[in-house]
Structure 1
Amino acid sequence: MNQDQDEARQSSLPGCYRHPEVHTGISCARCARPICPQCMISASVGFQCPECVRSGSGTGHAPGANRPRTVAGGALRAGDPQLLTKILIGINAVVFLVQQTVGDRFTDAFFLIGRAGIPGFDGPQGVAEGQWYRLLTSMFLHGGFAHIAFNMLSLWWLGGPLEAALGRARYLALYMVSGLAGGALTYLLAASNEPSLGASGAIFGLFGAMAVLMRRMRYDMRPVIGLLVVNLIFTFNPWVGIAWQAHVGGLVAGVLVGIGMVHAPAPRRALTQWGSCVLVLAASLALVLIRTAELI
């Protein structure tokens, strides 16, 4: 009898608006449509449906009102929480495939170098020659299968949680600013004819931001600190031949941007977060200008 009553009670519940065959007693906190466990997304109060989370609209609400946010103020999105991380890995993989297909000519045209002659090119090449794009393009080049495999594994391990915590726009800003800062420090300190390439500066920026985030959330920091220490040991190993400048520059930039992202006061969140990115970029630009003045 109790089982019959329970079945009758469930059959009287409305069906999910996306899965009508699934009866549910939960409704969206914004549009009041019934949602099943598969569709419900946690919000600051109750649950919301994917459409309200994605569009920021709902019955009786202005766009963006009461929209659920991450710890850094990023909007929660329906769909793949690691989409941007997968896109970045895909871009690196495609560029590496082009490197393997076209050969050294392609790599030589886009790796980071201060100022030097490169066989097959007319005249000196490098950032000091006005080729500032090398600070960006070098972030997506790699020197071999082991190099790209290690960097992409690190990006996968760190990128997903950070993308979910920061939101896609802030996460992309962190990645790019850290990579550019690592390139700027390499340009400043490395020999002008020493080439550099790889996503390591951006990856170390993610390490720095992850440490800041984990401390902010009061998580156990031993795993990320241990992994960072191992990476720094390899970084400063003279027999490995790693451009330590990119790692240090990216790490410092990641820590600074990470602090701005996760500790920004709510009333001035956007100003603090994007301001931290601008300040790190400005410092990177200053390093580039100083080094260029020395080389020309």
Structure 2
Amino acid sequence: MDQQPPGDQDRSAATDGSLSCYRHPGRGTHIRCTRCDRPICPECMVNASVGFQCPDCVRQGAGTGHRPAAGRPRTVAGGSITADPRLVTKILLGINVAVYLAVLANGALVDELMLFGKGVAEGQWYRLVTSMFLHQEMWHIMFNMLGLWWLGGPLEAALGRARFLALYMLSGLAGGALTYWLSAPVQGSLGASGAIFGLMGATAVLMRRLNYDMRPVFVLLAVNLVITFNPWGGIAWQAHVGGLIAGTLIAIGMVHAPRERRALVQYGTCALVLVAVVGVVLARTAALT
């Protein structure tokens, strides 16, 4: 892609007052590179000693010995910049589709893998994980995978692969744990919705961190919550709420962690969410047995 020189950056404002990323025209942003002053989106941001730099300036700095203080390109949350910022998103999407196809070939897998309170209470804890990748209807997996693709890519680029994977898995586990806690032992549950709602919460936190217009994500959350609590039922609202809460808390710890204690805060936040999930599961299991 042809890129404009630093002196010719696009300064035209979008309708919401944001600038357009010089590497991704039409993608609004309020952040500029601290070296060349060009506007950059979350996917292009590289942590520097002060503020953020664009990939071009990072490469130029590496050639002259003037690298960012972090020593190598980093995302807004401290993750490594990668050539394919959607790799984990693609892998997760592929696993979900593969399991869906396996269910089409053998419908008995649904009973073996879904979240079933009585089964978890009997020691089948694997259901808390397998149910996150399990779908039975075409519309169910289609909507969840669209959400994963739309939300996962930008989040993975902004957080880094390991942090994004932790966000996704812990959000899904939190949704399953809340479902296990509040639903009847004989009620089954399946789907990636808990993890997807976690991505929604994390997207809101990231957009607020970058001073983006929050209205689109608020509308998205409102619509999905209305669908979650619709009067005709059939949706495991516990998974949605649990995933949303976990994803929001994890994202706060990841994008607001102070640089000097970033790893401690990020790992600590994930550990606390995991401890809470395990605690809920143990308490519910004790109550059922």
TM-score w.r.t. structure 1 length?
Answer: 0.76
Q: Find out whether 1:67 has 2:60 as its counterpart.
A: no
Q: In the alignment, what sits opposite 1:47? A: 58
Return closer, same or farther for 1:178/1:145 CA change in 2, 3 Å cut-off.
same
Identity %: 67
Alpha-carbon distance in structure 1 between the residues aligned to 2:109 and 2:143:
22
Aligned residues: 236
Is it true that 1:230 corresponds to 2:223 in the alignment?
A: yes
Match of 1:110 in 2: 113
Q: 1:60-82, CA deviations, whole angstroms, 9 ceiling, x for partnerless residues?
A: 899x96211111011111x2211
Letter matched to residue 245 of structure 2: V
Describe the superposition over 1:27-47 as per-residue Cα deviations: whole angstroms up to 9, x where unpaired.
Answer: xxxxxxxxxxxxxx8754623
Contact 2:45–2:75 (8 Å) recurs in 1: no
Shift of 1:240: 3.8
The residue aligned with 2:21 is none
- The match for 1:250 is 243
Contact 1:42 1:48 in 2 (8 A): no
Partner of 2:11: none
Aligned equivalent of 1:271: 264
* Structure-2-length-normalised TM-score: 0.78
The runs of at least 4 aligned residues of structure 1 exceeding 4 Å deviation read: 41-45, 58-62
Query: What displacement does 1:143 show?
Result: 2.5
CA distance in 2, matches of 1:244, 1:148: 17
For the pair shown, which has the larger CA radius of gyration, 1 or 2?
1
2:213 corresponds in structure 1 to: 220
Letter in 2 for 1:81: P
In the superposition, relative to structure 1, how do residues 195 and 48 fare at CA in structure 2: closer, same or farther (>3 Å)?
same
Question: CA-to-partner distance for each residue in 1:103-146, whole Å, 9 max, x for gaps?
Answer: 1x11100100111xxxxxxxxxx100000000000000012000
1:83 to 87, 105, 115: 87
DSSP 3-state at the match of 2:188 = coil
Query: 1:48 aligns to what SS in structure 2?
Result: helix
Residue ranges of structure 2 left out of the alignment (5+ in a row): 1-43
RMSD between aligned residues: 2.0
Give the structure 2 partner of residue 288 of structure 1.
281
Q: Does the 8 Å CA contact 1:234/1:240 hold for their aligned counterparts?
A: no
1:141 to 2:144 alignment: no
Ranges in structure 1 where 5+ consecutive residues have no aligned partner: 1-40, 53-57, 116-125
Matching of residues 17-32 of structure 1 within 5 Å: none
